[in-house]
Amino acid sequence: MHPHPHREEKFTIRTADLDSRSEVSPVVLFSLLQELAINHADELGVGLKSIIEGSGHTWMLSRMRIVFAPTRPKFGEEIRVLTWPAGVQGRAMALRCFRVRDTRDAEILRAETEWFYVNIARQRIARLPDTIMEIAPRTAPRVELPEMSEKFEFDDTADLFDTAEIRVRRADLDINNHVNHTHIIAWLFESLADISDRPLLRTMDIVFRQEARLGDTLVSAASRGHSHTFHKISRADTTIAQAVLTWG
């Protein structure tokens, strides 16, 4: 079923993984995806340690699209997380897909991520080397995702408009010395004061546009539609990330 390189790991849901609904939060699920992606990249010889020390490059997450099933895992339940390189776009972007299932093989989520290969010294996107192109051939399978037609149209004049101010701490930084993507995703929800009363999160489409660093003061803002919310995290006039979330 998986002729291409893949990795699967099992995780047990802890109390620290639960949100106010006693369900696993989307942020925790994303952190598991990130952890497995790192482990698999290391296994394939293209992890952060290998490419930073070997060629002075790093990976930069550009976009993530994720679909959640209506059922969320509960405390003490075991889940299986599967990931694999899912091809490339051009010579600059690598794709990676994920599936998360419970012990009954019911799907919890599926996701696709887009990664740029970045020259650290120049702080520029670089061409993918042939070794990486061979790991992620264009024939690799991809997860099925619905057409996410909502555009990133944040309306800061809308009546239903909320903001939250965030100061970047040392604890928010990752190995690249900028804010980890997990924190950016968590901060999307800070501007939704009524999140506990909302329907379940069904899809998330987030684009990461700029880095955030220690000491930055960021604003997380959300404008609300009928079944979706538009999000923007910014520093002054610079957009750090944009997202569209659908609920139902």
Separation between Cα atoms, residue 101 and residue 134, nearest integer Å: 28
**Is residue 149 scored above 60 in pLDDT?**
no
8 Å CB contact between 33 and 111 = yes
Q: Supply 45's token pair.
A: 């010889």
What's the rounded mean pLDDT across residues 42-56? 82
Q: Supply 227's token pair.
A: 């079944």
Q: Supply 1's token pair.
A: 């079923």
Give how far the C-alpha of residue 72 lies from the chain's centroid of Cα atoms, to the nearest Å: 18
Say if 7-135 and 161-247 have the same CATH topology. yes
Q: What angle do CA 169, 29, 123 make, to 5 degrees?
A: 50
For the packed helices 48-55 and 26-43, what is the interaxial angle rounded to 10 degrees? Answer: 50
Residue-level pLDDT at 243: 94
Residue-level pLDDT at 152: 64
Residue-level pLDDT at 66: 96
User: pTM for the complete prediction?
Assistant: 0.89
What's the rounded mean pLDDT across residues 223-231? 83
Residue-level pLDDT at 8: 96
- What digits encode the pLDDT tens for the residues 179-207? 999 999 999 999 886 666 667 899 999 99
Amino acid, res. 248: G
Residue-level pLDDT at 1: 46
Closest CA to 144 of 114, 115, 110, 100: 110
- What digits encode the pLDDT tens for the residues 155-179? 665 555 788 999 999 999 988 889 9
Q: Supply 7's token pair.
A: 């990795």
Separation between Cα atoms, residue 64 and residue 210, nearest integer Å: 15
Closest CA to 68 of 143, 179, 150, 8: 143
**Which sequence spans correspond to the domains of the chain?**
7-135, 161-247
Separation between Cα atoms, residue 185 and residue 193, nearest integer Å: 16
Which of the pair, 233 or 195, is modelled with greater confidence?
233
C-alpha dihedral sign at 157, 159, 160, 161: positive
- What digits encode the pLDDT tens for the residues 127-138? 998 888 888 777
What's the rounded mean pLDDT across residues 71-92? 91
What is the CATH topology of the domain spanning 161-247? Thiol Ester Dehydrase; Chain A (3.10.129)
Asked if CATH classification 3.40.630.30 holds for the domain at 7-135, the reply, yes or no, is: no
Rounded to the nearest 10°, the torsion over CA 119, 46, 31, 160 is 40
Question: How many C-beta atoms surround the C-beta of residue 108 within 10 A?
Answer: 20
Q: What is the CA radius of gyration of the chain?
A: 18
Residue-level pLDDT at 196: 60
DSSP-derived pairing of the beta strands 217-224 and 238-247: unpaired
